[in-house]
Structure 1
Amino acid sequence: MPTFHAAWTCGGVAATVLALLTKNWSFEAVAVAGVLVPLALVAAPYVRGAGPVTPIGDDGSKVPWRRILPVGIAMVLFYMVDTAATTWGPSYLHHVFGSGAALVAVATLPYLVASLVGRASGDRLAEHFGAANLVRSAAFVGAAGLGVVVFAPHPLIAVLGFTVAGLGLSAVAPLAFSAAAKIAREQTLSEHEAVRAKVDAIIARFNQFNYLGGILGAVMTGAVGNDSLRYGFAIPMVLVLFLAPLARSFR
């Protein structure tokens, strides 16, 4: 899963670079190149007909929430940091340090590149050290990176902090999906029911933690950081440490 999520991060890096390259383009040109063409490419296979699709639907699967909840909380904590960094990072550089447009524009690019590196190596690291140890380490590396952001005396130091946080925390979300899938598979096997469909259904429900973390990260950071975004980033800096006790659920 970490390597698979690296492809997602590649999309974020590509979008950031595309935005930088097209910042002087007209709105119409950006709309055609950045929206209409990709949509056409995505829709093309379905226009030709991709064959029958078997919907998963709600098959009445019992979700083992008691076991999945700690892993879901870890997902929430990660996405709180991720959304705070990508949503409020540029504003932080602009309002706290008065950074120019050039630095603000690339504020999240090092974070995304570091996330890409962390996810690309996440499978091997998890195999070598264990997923639980990797998540436990992510808690302290992520908190350290956000600490650099909060106390940074210079915008480039803040960018370095975001980079460290991205590198340390990037594998948490894909490892959480892996852990949830393993829990779901154990649940279905114990009931002697169709494994694949039930795992898919449970993972679909588990994905709600993603959105909860995203909402909390965007709203909480902005609300607490109304006077200064330093305070806003101090909240995820502390909360991300709770990944350490939750790490045992990833075994």
Structure 2
Amino acid sequence: MSYSPRAAIAAAYFAQGCVFLSLTTRLPKFEDHWGISQLGLTLLMLMIVLLAGCGSLLAEKVAPRRGSAIVLRTGLLGIVVALIISSNAPNIPILAAGLAIYGGCLGMVDATTNMQAVSLEHQVKRTVLPSFHGAWTAGGIAGTLVTLALPHASIAVLSCGLALLPLVVGFARFLPGSGSAPNPEAAEGIPWRPILLVGAACVIFYTVDTASTTWGSVYFDHTLHAPSGLVALATLPYLVASLGARMAGDRLTDSIGATRLLSSGAAVAIVGLVVVVAAPSWPVGIVGFLVLGAGIAVVAPLSYSAAATLARGGGDLDPDTARARTDAVIARFNQFNYVGALIGSVLTGAIGTGSLRLGYAVPVLLLLALFPLAKVFDRDRLAAVSQQ
């Protein structure tokens, strides 16, 4: 296996995380620049989430036939266009148009980066999804640091500068796709019931993750009254802890198993989120987000890995059909991402209109469900189900 495709996949994750977090950590600036209310921001996030789901569905249809690499490149270049339009928008309708393009391309890139990652994981035959998702987190940290380092930079200058990243990555060398649709008979054997259980864990993760990355800066600004130049600190410790957990996730998964790792992580995440909700000041809030990130980070990559294992079945499929089938399943599985994002970004903002403390209290209850769901991730259980 050439190193180039692996580096290219990691770069795509990095670019996606950098652009997304640079956008969400600047939401307070969006409020001021375009005069948008918190409800208005909620509606814009709803639009992005819904269109991202459409972009993921498009990837499901196109990638198995044309290859995930082509769809990934298209999505990355579409993000470049979206950043240029939205950052230079003279009014809210043009801003909404640019963010709509971003939403669709976000879904395309989300789906296809995970398609590429699970294909490589199957080829190398060891856990690599957590570290790939760690590349996304590293990109998010970079995007957050840019916001912190350039608090007075104009939205247009910052966004156009960030657009160079997906532009360059879009021409990288990715894994080739199968170029053919999966056999309809093979698709009938996909075990959707266990995939739905794995997807439920993914929904919980993205509910918590999106609530943290989307509303963290607003929470620090409006509720915890952090200094204006430090509101992005809500997101940064969460991302730093997530990065550490994901970089260690490959080794920990192979050594102690996904079930034990998810159960212990859920307990840590609950403690962290309770600290966030009860935080009397922004320094305490930083500690809460730090603990939360360390606990919750590996849920998403392990969910995609488990879904891919279930999609491939017992290994009796030819390589092209297995890859095309997995691409289709991962694109559809990616919808769980947006269900969680919908709950995390939209409902957190809507419920927390009066106080985001209430909005952040909702995910605490969801985290409790990770304890029974963790059993589904047992490697022997996944292997047994996939062979049925």
Q: For 1:116 and 1:44, locate their aligned partners in 2 and report how far apart those are by CA, in whole Å.
A: 26
| Range with bigger deviation, 86-95 or 186-195 | 186-195
- Does residue 370 of structure 2 align to residue 243 of structure 1? yes
- 1:209 aligned partner: 336
- 1:182 aligned partner: 309
Equivalenced residue count is 247
- Does residue 356 of structure 2 align to residue 196 of structure 1? no
8 Å Cα contact 1:111-1:165 kept in structure 2:
yes
Shift of 1:229: 1.1
Structure 2 unaligned regions, length at least 5: 1-128, 379-388
Q: Deviations over 1:70-126 (max 9, x none)?
A: 100000000000000011111112222222212212220111111000000011111
| Range with bigger deviation, 114-123 or 222-231 | 222-231
Secondary structure at the aligned position of 1:227 is classed as coil
Q: For 1:154 and 1:58, locate their aligned partners in 2 and report how far apart those are by CA, in whole Å.
A: 54
Secondary structure at the aligned position of 2:316 is classed as helix
- 2:348 aligned partner: 221
Q: For 1:71 and 1:187, locate their aligned partners in 2 and report how far apart those are by CA, in whole Å.
A: 18
Shift of 1:157: 0.8
Change (3 A) 1:163 1:193: same
Residue in structure 1 matching 2:263, options 131, 136, 139: 136
- Does residue 189 of structure 2 align to residue 40 of structure 1? no
- 2:293 aligned partner: 166
Residue in structure 2 matching 1:8, options 118, 121, 136: 136
What amino acid is the match of 1:73? A
What amino acid is the match of 1:25? A
Q: For 1:211 and 1:99, locate their aligned partners in 2 and report how far apart those are by CA, in whole Å.
A: 29
Q: For 1:128 and 1:142, locate their aligned partners in 2 and report how far apart those are by CA, in whole Å.
A: 21
Alignment of 1:45-124 (within 5 A): 54-55=178-179, 57=181, 59-60=183-184, 61-62=187-188, 63-124=190-251
8 Å Cα contact 1:188-1:199 kept in structure 2:
no
Q: Deviations over 1:134-160 (max 9, x none)?
A: 111121111110001111122111111
| Range with bigger deviation, 201-210 or 158-167 | 201-210
Residue in structure 1 matching 2:361, options 234, 237, 249: 234
Q: For 1:52 and 1:241, locate their aligned partners in 2 and report how far apart those are by CA, in whole Å.
A: 40
What amino acid is the match of 2:146? L
RMSD (Å) for aligned C-alpha atoms:
2.4
Structure 1 unaligned regions, length at least 5: none
Percent identity at matched positions? 46
Residue in structure 2 matching 1:18, options 146, 162, 165: 146
What amino acid is the match of 2:368? L
Q: For 2:364 and 2:218, locate their aligned partners in 1 and report how far apart those are by CA, in whole Å.
A: 17
Q: For 1:178 and 1:113, locate their aligned partners in 2 and report how far apart those are by CA, in whole Å.
A: 22
State the TM-score, normalized to the length of structure 2: 0.59
Change (3 A) 1:192 1:105: closer
What amino acid is the match of 1:11? G
Q: For 1:150 and 1:161, locate their aligned partners in 2 and report how far apart those are by CA, in whole Å.
A: 8
Change (3 A) 1:221 1:201: same
State the TM-score, normalized to the length of structure 1: 0.89
Q: For 1:189 and 1:67, locate their aligned partners in 2 and report how far apart those are by CA, in whole Å.
A: 20
- 2:157 aligned partner: 29
Higher RCO (C-alpha 8 Å, min separation 6): 1
| Range with bigger deviation, 191-200 or 209-218 | 191-200
Q: Deviations over 1:9-38 (max 9, x none)?
A: 111011111222233234453244222x22
Secondary structure at the aligned position of 1:189 is classed as coil
Shift of 1:190: 7.9
8 Å Cα contact 1:188-1:194 kept in structure 2:
no
Q: For 2:175 and 2:224, locate their aligned partners in 1 and report how far apart those are by CA, in whole Å.
A: 54
Change (3 A) 1:147 1:179: same
Q: Deviations over 1:200-247 (max 9, x none)?
A: 221221111111111111112112212211111111011111000000
